[in-house]
Chains A and B, each alone.
Chain A
């Protein structure tokens, strides 16, 4: 399950490819000790690395169109898997990477919507009617907003959702990362998902 989502696979790929370099691990340790500056730098590095992989995946697309982009991503990631690393270090890394993956996707989703009276004129040309966003197109933005709201009163559920959906960690891995039991993760995720679903629907109406 872990490698199934494209986003998750990207994150894993990044983490594995980055772990070898010491400046990154250094940043990581500093982040763990609460260094905000280091957190920012690390976030930027992860962000850039994710993008690089995404671009590389795009260019390595084969003419065989039956392959899904996510499958392409998985394939690319598999090639990048590196050596084993202690779990405790990886857990924190995942959190940062998951957050950055979320940022990348949300940035992209929000930037697409900026056609309204704001940035590039997307409204007209009328020939490109496809540019006009259908409600589902805006779901990720709604998800991001809902997650932010959720964090206001239940940080733990928020973190679980982020790790699981954006970081691509399985239930067990998520549990380990957050130092709770898998059953707790299962329970809490269930409610969190329902709550988010409802919040997203309310935003769309």
Chain B
């Protein structure tokens, strides 16, 4: 379990992370979201035992990271932002070096390196020096480095940044395959990734924790959540009027239509479900409904709401 309690990090006068608390259990993939410079990387670095917090506590599987970073790091596999690697080394040489730092030597080291090269699909480039690798291979080398010692906790700082869609999928599949037996924390600003991978998401903005819930619940905060799109056979003006009279409907938008068929969008006052009211209204007027769907909400909308209200709330300097 990763436990972060009232974490604060100040760089001089600037507060990069401001009173952040959360806990992550085994089997959870936690997505850390936030705009650039929000404090995601600083938070992850503190969990990884690289930066000391100004205040607050971090523990990994019960080990206090601040008091004993080395013991904590033995539980952690960490893939830093921008994949720093020793450019002059070969992929296999680099992983062999990291394996030695992780306490493997001789045959065991070679076995680990071979296994991880296979797992991360790096066998083809094992003898290439790192500075000749493409971005995708660099990422995978960095991920391989984090997985060498089969850690209980994985911290991945923007693991798919700068990859093409196929490479992204490879990395996602790997994360997905490990999700059950590990604690995984990954930072990203690709929102689709959160929906595809994470069982929980936190949003950090200006160093503060703004939201912490399942991505599906997060989407419910979206202003368009439960907006109902109805396709029906009805005269336009009457339909607009009739649906507008449903008590929970704030407004009715005309999307498309001709003299027979209309597509209307009903926006609820407070994200209530409108399906029952809409069906009743159509039945009363004997209008035939051909299709109806309610909006699941959109993560990018929520992300924008949460991270920009923070900006607005604070007076500009």
Q: Do A and B bind each other?
A: no
Q: Which residues of B line the A interface, CB within 8 A?
A: none
